[in-house]
Structure 1
Amino acid sequence: MTSGDDELNAVLATAREQLTDRMGITLTSWSPERVVGTMPVAGNRQPYGLLHGGANAVLAETLGSVASALHAGNDRIAVGLELSCTHHRAATEGVVTGVATPIHRGRATATYEITITDEQERRTCTARLTCVLRDQPPA
């Protein structure tokens, strides 16, 4: 755990019972340099029994947004600007793991690459998320 734990806990507190919980996403490690999380395939499939592409997007945006928020710090927020996902391979069971690493971390924007792999460590999706960093709005 890092000194960003308080920041992450604040972000997660507002996310309780939201999409991340419904999707079964669990963060396993986090810092501005690397955020890792998992998501079950079960419950997140499309009608053909494959992990839904939108589920990959939710996992990718969650991990990249948390990393961007940690980079932004306490007095700023990260808001998604652009998300791009390439689906390489189908996942049909088990758990997928996403890892967000920085491509660019500036004052106004942060861009992360998110790789998603299956339990055999085969890449199933590559995503790129850019967030705009803004001052925290008044409470």
Structure 2
Amino acid sequence: MFNEIFTLEAINDLSQNTLLEHIGIQFTEIGTDYLKATMPVDSRTYQPMGLLHGGASVVLAESLGSVAAQMTIDPHEQYCVGLDINANHIKSVREGVVEGIATPLHRGKKTQVWEIKIYNEKKELVCVSRITMAILDRKK
């Protein structure tokens, strides 16, 4: 399903000097139909009460969905942009690392929908998110 030009090293290199690098998001696994990444729960991702910020979870979710969508198309012909994202925050996290996994719900010619589930280190569901991506043609 994923374009073979995308490797973990390549997608992590694209994160340099971005928000992803700043908050410590690392892509960790490319499966046949999923993409995984981790994010630390620390001072970079806390909200004022010392819990994982819901916005940080959304950054992880959007990063996973956006990169996964981009990995399914020809990057020389098209590119993906987010249209909509939502998130339900299920469980709080105070420390450690969370892991997100993106899986496709719909892969059309002009839109894609991805589900992202985020888990704590005990494999408990922390957040579930859905992102809709538009697939746009590059100008020739």
Residue 68 of structure 2 is aligned to residue 70 of structure 1:
no
Task: Tell me the residue number matched to 2:54.
Answer: 53
Question: What is the alpha-carbon distance in structure 2 between the residues aligned to residue 95 and residue 12 of structure 1?
Answer: 17
Distance 2:22 2:119 in 1: 20
Report the AA paired with residue 132 of structure 2.
T
Moved over 6 A (4+): none
Contact 2:3 2:74 in 1 (8 A): no
Does the Cα contact within 8 Å between 2:12 and 2:26 map onto a contact in 1? no
- CA deviation digits over 1:13-41, x for unaligned, max 9? 54421110011000011257211000000
- With the length of structure 1 as denominator, give the TM-score of the two structures: 0.90
CA shift, 1:8, in A, is 7.9
Match of 1:111? 113
User: Match of 1:23?
Assistant: 23
Query: What's the RMSD between the two structures over aligned residues?
Result: 2.2
* TM norm structure 2: 0.89
User: How many residue pairs align between the two structures?
Assistant: 137
Aligned residue for 1:5, secondary structure, equals coil
Structure 2 CA distance for aligned equivalents of residues 119 and 7 of structure 1 = 21
Measure the CA separation in 2 of the matches of 1:123 and 1:88: 7
Query: Relative to 1, partners in 2 of residues 1:13 and 1:120: Cα closer, same or farther, differing over 3 Å?
Result: closer
Partner of residue 128 from structure 2, selected from 119, 126, 129: 126
Deviation at 1:2, TM superposition (A): 6.8
Amino acid at match of 2:26: T
Structure holding more helix per residue: 1
User: Residues 2 and 31 of structure 1 are in contact (CA less than 8 Å); yes or no, is this contact kept in structure 2?
Assistant: no
Structure 1 unaligned segments of length 5 or more: list them.
none
Determine the structure 1 residue equivalent to 2:99: 97
Distance 1:87 1:7, change over 3 A: closer
Structure 2 residue runs without a partner (length 5+): none
Same amino acid, percent of matched pairs: 36
Change (3 A) 1:2 1:70: closer
